[in-house]
Amino acid sequence: MKDLSDFVVPWMNDVKPYTTDDVNVAWDHPEFRRMFLNENPYPPSQAVVEAILDAVRHGNRYPGNGPQLRAKIAEKYQLGSDNVFLGNGSSEIIEMVMKVFVAPGEEVIIPNPTFSLFESRATIIGGKAIKVDQKEDLQYDTEAILNAITSKTKVIIICTPNNPTGDFIPDEDLIRILKRGIPTLVDEAYLEYHPEHLSKAPLIRNYPNAIISHTFSKAFGLAGIRIGFCFADKKVIGYFKKMQMPWSVSLMAIAAAYSAWHDGDAFNRKITANNREIEYFFQELNKIGGVKAYFSYGNYILIDITKTGLDPQKVVDSLLERKVMIKTVKGYRDRKFVRVSTGTEEENAFCVESLKQILQKKNGR
């Protein structure tokens, strides 16, 4: 009898899974400060909770595809509801893009560093991730991205603001990439933290190869409820509909998102608190010798600890001993990074003071 592994697609061995074991640790230890997953530390508003409870009463019925929610989202950018596609978080949008456009052996251009799920979802279908390093200052290297395009390139990933570097790609650079006509996923998961920066959604009118993804997980604070969306050309959305499993977005998720979209007061409180705390992190961490914190337009901050000589994992472990969970960022040249997600005001103050003690001790201060 053959071993079961003989039946597995050959490229599966190359897949680096996006592990969630640390999430289980966090749930098992509710006393820990969860500052590692870019979660919103503030729970859904009462209006959202009531919307979910109302939807639960109809939980015996299959959900539709959220026409009212899609219409409201589209209205903001003068697009049609048929230009909006709902997914089980923006993670499912990423999955759709890879499945629709990438065949085994074909290439996906991915900036480095960025959200690791892009690479894992490309390789799980047999695609090849082509990583393009950001510049030394962690800005997008547009020339390098364009030079990486080959006849095998089927998707380009642009995360803006980028996770974990926290900055935007300039508009003119994004246009240069879109002009190549290659399907380009523009991930705007963190855009809502800065409403003064408008979505690139209108670009789909002139660039049908643009797919602009968003999520309700971050600024809206619905990570555990699982709903996201994208703006795309009708033809692209037609492909997504063929690929998506029916009913992947629940009745409760659609209701929660519709309520959160209209709950402006709760939304504004969350983004105001986040942006205040990002500034606090940025100012305080840059006072530590040998440390460089990068300003972020998301709900996380990237910290370069290369000059301290410390191993990032040891810093993570030292914080875990203090019941603070953060994470390392690996694979960018020879530099050493950790990333911290914003928490509550108390959590952030405790994390900063702990980092000062850990990092300054190494510097002999």
Strands 33-34 and 300-304, by their bridges, are unpaired
pTM, rounded to two decimals: 0.96
Task: Name 43's Cβ contacts closer than 8 Å, sequence gap at least 6.
Answer: 221
Count the neighbouring beta carbons within 10 Å of the beta carbon of residue 258.
20
Number of compact structural domains in the chain = 2
State the greatest distance between any 2 C-alpha atoms of the chain, in Å, as a whole number.
64
Q: Which amino acid is at 244?
A: Q
Instruction: Please tell me whether residues 233 and 309 are part of one structural domain.
Output: no
- Residue 63, both tokens: 């959900």
Instruction: Please tell me whether residues 83 and 95 are part of one structural domain.
Output: yes
Alpha-carbon gap, residue 358 to 86, rounded angstroms: 43
Contact 341, 299 (CB under 8 A): yes
Instruction: Please tell me whether residues 86 and 231 are part of one structural domain.
Output: yes
- The domain in which residue 88 lies consists of 46-262
Q: Which of 262, 282, 306 is the last residue of a domain?
A: 262
Instruction: Please tell me whether residues 272 and 210 are part of one structural domain.
Output: no
Instruction: Please tell me whether residues 32 and 60 are part of one structural domain.
Output: no
**In CATH, what number is assigned to the domain containing residue 321?**
3.90.1150.10
- Structure confidence at residue 20 (pLDDT): 86
- Structure confidence at residue 365 (pLDDT): 46
- Structure confidence at residue 16 (pLDDT): 80
Alpha-carbon gap, residue 20 to 16, rounded angstroms: 12
Alpha-carbon gap, residue 340 to 316, rounded angstroms: 10
* Alpha helices per DSSP H over the chain: 21-28, 46-56, 67-75, 89-101, 117-123, 142-147, 171-178, 234-243, 251-262, 264-285, 312-321, 345-362
Instruction: Please tell me whether residues 23 and 52 are part of one structural domain.
Output: no
Per-residue pLDDT of the chain (365 residues; tens, 9 = 90+): 888 888 999 888 888 888 889 999 999 999 999 999 999 999 999 999 999 999 999 999 999 999 999 999 999 999 999 999 999 999 999 999 999 999 999 999 999 999 999 999 999 999 999 999 999 999 999 999 999 999 999 999 999 999 999 999 999 999 999 999 999 999 999 999 999 999 999 999 999 999 999 999 999 999 999 999 999 999 999 999 999 999 999 999 999 999 999 999 999 999 999 999 999 999 999 999 999 999 999 999 999 999 999 999 999 999 999 999 999 999 899 999 999 999 999 999 999 999 999 998 655 44
- Residue 38, both tokens: 């870019």
As a whole number of Å, the end-to-end CA separation of the chain is 64
Q: Which of 219, 239, 262 is the last residue of a domain?
A: 262
- Structure confidence at residue 198 (pLDDT): 94
Dihedral through CA 140, CA 231, CA 219, CA 167, nearest 10?
10
Instruction: Please tell me whether residues 274 and 256 are part of one structural domain.
Output: no
Give Rg (Cα) of the chain.
21
**In CATH, what number is assigned to the domain containing residue 257?**
3.40.640.10
Q: Which of 262, 293, 322 is the last residue of a domain?
A: 262
- Residue 60, both tokens: 């015996």
Alpha-carbon gap, residue 324 to 312, rounded angstroms: 14
Strand order in the sheet with 210-215: 84-87, 228-231, 210-215, 184-187, 153-159, 107-112, 128-133
